[in-house]
Amino acid sequence: MGTSAGDRAGWVSGIGRHEDAGPGTEETTAPVSDIFDELQWRGLVAQTTDESALRQALADGPVTVYCGFDPTAPSLHFGNLVQLVVLRHLQRAGHRVICLVGGSTGLIGDPRPTSERVLKTKEQTAHNVGRIRDLVRPFLDFEGDNPALLVDNLDWTAPMSAIDFLRDIGTHFRVNQMIRKDAVATRLASEQGISYTEFSYQLLQGLDYLELFRVHGCTLQTGGSDQWGNITAGVDLIHRAEGASVHALSTPLLEDSSGTKFGKSEGNAVWLSADMTSPYAFYQYFLNIEDSSVVRLLKVFTDRSRDDIDALGRLSEEKPFLRDAQKALATDITTLVHGTTLAAAVQTASDALFGKGDVSVLDPATLLDATGELPGAQVVVGTSVVDALVAVGLVDSRNAARRAITEGGASVNNVRVTDPEQLLALTDFLHGRVALLRRGRKNLAAARLG
C-alpha cells in the first residue's frame, strides 16, 4: 500500500473528524500544469519513475492517481496524512484520485525491516477498514464534479483462487528482483528471515495497481519513499502484463533534525482519530515542533502561500520566542484533521492552560483532554489549597505551599490565591471534575474531584 476531519452532523463514526472541515475544495485550484512544481516546492516529491514523462502527463491531464492505506491499526497516523495531502493537491488540480483501503493487504502485512508482523484476524481487519474508510472521506471531495473514489482491494483479491493468482500474477514477477527490495533484503539477512506470506506482499500491491489500471485507467501511484519497492512492483507488473508505461511518485519520510521520524510521541504514533490521540494532544504536538522543522511542515501540511510561509519563516528566525510559525502550523493542521470547531476549542484550551484565558469557558471534553496528561491527584471538596498544592506535587511541603501563596505565586483556575487558608469549593472543580492548580508561570497540575 502507499502507507500501513464544525458540527453540522457531529462525529464521523466517532473517530475524530467533524464534517465542518469540508473536503478542501473551497480554495482556488492551481492549473493542472503547475501541480508537479507545487508538490516539489512543498517538499512532497522524493522519487519518480520518469520525472519529465510524469510532468508531461500531469500537464496534459487529467491523470488518475491512487494511494493505498493498510488497516493495520484502527486509525491512520501522522505519516499517512502526507499521502492524503498529496491526493488533495492532485484532486484540486483537476486529477482523478482513488483512495484504496487494503482489506486484503491488511490481512498480510507489509514486511517490516525488523520482524514479522502479528497478523490481524479477519474481524479485526474488517473493523479497521470501516474506521479508515470513514476517516479518509473528509479529506477529499467525494461529491463534486470530480469525485474521489474509495475502493477496497479485498473486492478483487477475495474471488481470485490461488492457482489464478500464481498463473496470472505470479508469472510476471522475478524472485531475483523481489529479494533486492530493501525490507526483504534486510529480513533475509536476519536470523528470523521472512515468511512467504510477507514476501508475497509486493505481488498483492502490484495486483492493486494492475486492477486499477485496467478498470479505472489509473496511471499514477503515490506513497512514502519507504514503499518505493512495492510501488515499482506495480509499475513493472503493468508493463509486463499490459505492455504499458505508468508512473510512480514517492514522498520523503519526514524527520526532525536528529533523524527521528515525525509523528512519534514517547514511542506512540500521533494518530488522526480523536479517540486515539486527542485533538488537544494533537495540537500541542505541532505547537512544540522545533524551529528548524516548522517551515518544512508548513509547506507540507498547510495551504499557505509561499509569501505567507516565507514571512513566518523570517519571523521564526528573528523572534523565535513568539512561536508564530508553530501556532500557524498547529492551528492549520488541527483544522485540517479535526475541523474548525475543535481546532478553536483546543486553541482556547491551550491559551487558558498557560494563563492567557478563562479556563471556565472550556467544554467538558476539551477540559479533560487538556488536563488529562497533567500531574495531579484526587482531592475532595473542602481540601485547603495548601494541601492540594502538596497533593498534586507542585510543592514539597505545606510550608512551601504557604510561601508560594503569600508570595503571589499560586493560583486556582488562573485566579491568584491570596489567602493561605482558602479551601477548594465545589465551584472550583470545573464541570464538577477538575481544578487547575498553578505554581509560578509554568508549573501546572490537576486537582481531580475524588
Which CATH number characterizes residue 344's domain? 1.10.240.10
If asked whether residues 419 and 366 sit together in one domain, one would say no
What the block records as the C-alpha cell of 257 is 533534525
If asked whether residues 219 and 75 sit together in one domain, one would say yes
Element containing residue 224 per DSSP (H, E)? strand 220-224
What the block records as the C-alpha cell of 279 is 485533538
If asked whether residues 87 and 175 sit together in one domain, one would say yes
Label the pairing between strands 376-379 and 264-265: unpaired
Label the pairing between strands 64-69 and 247-251: unpaired
CA atoms within 13 A on the CB side of 144: 17
E strands, 36-168, in order: 47-48, 64-69, 96-101, 149-152
Q: For residues 22 and 139, is the Cβ–Cβ distance under 8 A?
A: no
Boundary residue ending a domain (254, 269, 300):
254
If asked whether residues 212 and 106 sit together in one domain, one would say yes
Terminal C-alpha separation, the chain: 48
* pLDDT confidence of residue 265: 53
Do the domain assignments include residue 33?
yes
d(CA 209, CA 442): 52
What the block records as the C-alpha cell of 336 is 485540517
Residues 6+ apart with CB under 8 A from 279: 16, 334, 338, 342, 343, 345, 346, 366, 369
CA atoms within 13 A on the CB side of 111: 27
If asked whether residues 361 and 396 sit together in one domain, one would say no
CA angle 339-95-273, nearest 5°? 25
If asked whether residues 247 and 311 sit together in one domain, one would say no
What the block records as the C-alpha cell of 253 is 519520510
If asked whether residues 176 and 237 sit together in one domain, one would say yes
If asked whether residues 387 and 361 sit together in one domain, one would say no
Do the domain assignments include residue 14?
no
If asked whether residues 92 and 176 sit together in one domain, one would say yes
Boundary residue ending a domain (190, 221, 254):
254
If asked whether residues 60 and 207 sit together in one domain, one would say yes
Residue 24 corresponds to which amino acid? Answer: G
Whole-number Cα distances in Å, 404 to 59, 442, 445 = 66, 14, 15
* pLDDT confidence of residue 28: 40
What the block records as the C-alpha cell of 56 is 508531461
Task: Name the maximum alpha-carbon separation found in the chain.
Answer: 84
* pLDDT confidence of residue 168: 92
What the block records as the C-alpha cell of 382 is 473542602
CA atoms within 13 A on the CB side of 77: 16
Helix (H, G, I), strand (E, B) or coil at 377: strand
Beta bridge partners of 248: 221
The tens place of each residue's pLDDT in the chain, 450 residues long, gives 444 433 222 222 223 333 344 433 334 444 334 899 999 999 999 999 999 999 999 999 899 999 999 998 999 998 899 999 999 999 999 999 999 999 999 988 887 777 778 888 999 999 999 999 999 999 999 998 999 999 999 999 999 999 999 999 989 988 888 888 888 888 888 878 888 888 888 899 999 999 999 999 999 999 999 889 899 999 999 999 999 999 999 999 888 777 777 765 545 689 999 999 999 999 999 999 999 999 999 999 999 999 999 999 999 999 999 999 999 999 999 999 999 999 999 999 998 888 777 888 899 999 999 998 899 999 999 999 999 999 999 999 999 999 999 999 999 999 999 999 999 999 999 999 999 999 998 899 999 998
Could you tell me the residue range of the domain that residue 445 belongs to?
376-449
Which residue reads 531475483 in cell numbers?
176
Q: For residues 428 and 412, is the Cβ–Cβ distance under 8 A?
A: yes
* pLDDT confidence of residue 283: 95
Helices marked H in 179-263 — which ranges?
182-188, 196-199, 201-216, 228-242
d(CA 380, CA 174): 69
Do the domain assignments include residue 111?
yes
d(CA 310, CA 307): 5
Do the domain assignments include residue 193?
yes
Do the domain assignments include residue 165?
yes
Do the domain assignments include residue 58?
yes
Whole-number Cα distances in Å, 364 to 31, 138, 367 = 45, 25, 5
If asked whether residues 406 and 429 sit together in one domain, one would say yes
If asked whether residues 75 and 150 sit together in one domain, one would say yes
d(CA 131, CA 12): 9
Tell me the CATH number at 411. 3.10.290.10
Do the domain assignments include residue 1?
no
Q: What is the DSSP letter of 443?
A: E
* pLDDT confidence of residue 263: 65
Closest CA to 82 of 233, 235, 349, 263: 263
Do the domain assignments include residue 3?
no
Boundary residue ending a domain (342, 371, 400):
371
Tell me the CATH number at 189. 3.40.50.620
Label the pairing between strands 268-269 and 264-265: antiparallel
Q: For residues 136 and 76, is the Cβ–Cβ distance under 8 A?
A: yes
Q: Please count the structural domains in the chain.
A: 3
Label the pairing between strands 410-412 and 434-439: antiparallel
